[in-house]
A = this chain, B = another copy of it.
Amino acid sequence: MAALTIKDIARICGVGTSTVSRAINDDPGINPETKERILTVVEEFHYVPNNSARNLKVTDSNTVGVLVKGRNNRFFQSMYADFEQELEQAGYDFTFKEIAYNENELLEAEAMIKEKRLKGIIFLGGMIENPDESLARLDVPYVLCTVAVNTRLAKSSSVGIDDEKESYKIVDYLIKKGHKRIAVIVGQRRDYAVGRRRMQGYVRALNDNGIIFDDSLVIYQRDDLPDYSEANGYAVMSEFLKSGKEFTAVYAIADLLALGAYKAIYDAGKKIPQDYSVMGFDGIEITKYMHPALTTVRQPIEKIVKESVDIIIKEISGDRTSRQVYYETELVEQDSVIEIL
């Protein structure tokens, strides 16, 4: 493609190329008005100086970004291909960035919007206390996808599941199967997002069934291991088993944690579900091939991705209606839970 050269810009502005160069490089030896005039032309004609073309993007983009709270979280990673496909079908490019749990998503979002010249941004995972206020200063539309927000009264568009309610469903299921001493692997202690929500569902289900909450059955993930990982589930379950606490079932708030817990239970010479029933959360493919297959609830990932993309595109097109879409999970009864007396 023919691109403008510095000579073209010089000709349009009626100056020499060195003057254009000085304007671009912010050289003090140039008349401010001349500089202003040159930079206006540079911008108007989308001129990209050759030597800094790699880092400067004064051009337009057609990109929607997904900012992911969590590094190497395979539940989120399994959604990227769907995001790419849905966005492509709508004529947009997809880009993503994973950030650690303790990074500030607002600052990261601002940087990402600027660097990638995003048309819209989807937040994936994490917790945003007051999205209406904290995200108001973003200058592109945004959608919260499986983000825990502090209140349903938020006007920001969001898509996901009701973590508290779905977690309640799991614990209620275990109780109906006769379990009363139910251990729970929750988030890290500082997890005020999905981990906290799912724990609240656990507490409420116990209450509604007349079972007194026992905090010694709450197993926090370690903060020196990746959260929601097999490694974390394995480490904390191994530790818990050594404590000698009595329990008949363990509910891990993510399938990958349950996978780690399985190994800890086997290492301790115990059987699933004969010695301990186990339940997970998410419904990822691998649960079918665990030994025994894990009873869990399945999140409708495809629907969640599609709806998030639909909303961001509507918002980019100017329709700023606030939408909150919550899906139900599906209970997947497999082989890791037995009824007890």
In the bound complex, residues from chain B placing their C-beta under 8 Å from that of A116 are 93
In contact, B3 and A60 (Cβ under 8 angstroms):
yes
Q: How many residues of A contact B (CB 8 A)?
A: 53
In contact, A46 and B59 (Cβ under 8 angstroms):
yes
CB distance from A258 to the nearest CB of B (A): 10
- Count the copies: 2
A142 at the interface (CB under 8 A from B): no
Identify which of B94, B229, B288 contacts A95 (C-beta below 8 A).
Answer: B94
Main secondary structure of the interface of A (DSSP, over half): mixed
CA distance A234 to B290 in the complex (A): 12
Per the 8 Å Cβ criterion, residues 238-290 of A in contact with B are 259-260, 262-263, 266, 285-286, 288-289
Query: Which of A71-79, A158-166, A188-196 interfaces with chain B?
Result: A71-79
A16 at the interface (CB under 8 A from B): no
A97 at the interface (CB under 8 A from B): yes
Per the 8 Å Cβ criterion, residues 76-111 of A in contact with B are 77-78, 80-81, 84-85, 88, 91-98
Supply 30 A–B pairs (Cβ within 8 Å), ascending by A: A1-B58, A1-B60, A2-B44, A3-B44, A3-B46, A3-B60, A4-B45, A45-B46, A48-B60, A54-B92, A55-B62, A55-B91, A57-B60, A57-B62, A59-B59, A59-B60, A72-B78, A74-B78, A80-B80, A81-B98, A84-B96, A88-B97, A93-B95, A229-B285, A230-B285, A259-B289, A260-B289, A263-B291, A266-B291, A291-B291
* Other A-B pairs beyond A46-B46, A230-B286, A291-B291, 13, CB < 8 Å: A1-B60, A53-B62, A55-B91, A59-B59, A72-B81, A74-B78, A85-B98, A88-B97, A95-B95, A230-B285, A230-B288, A231-B288, A263-B293
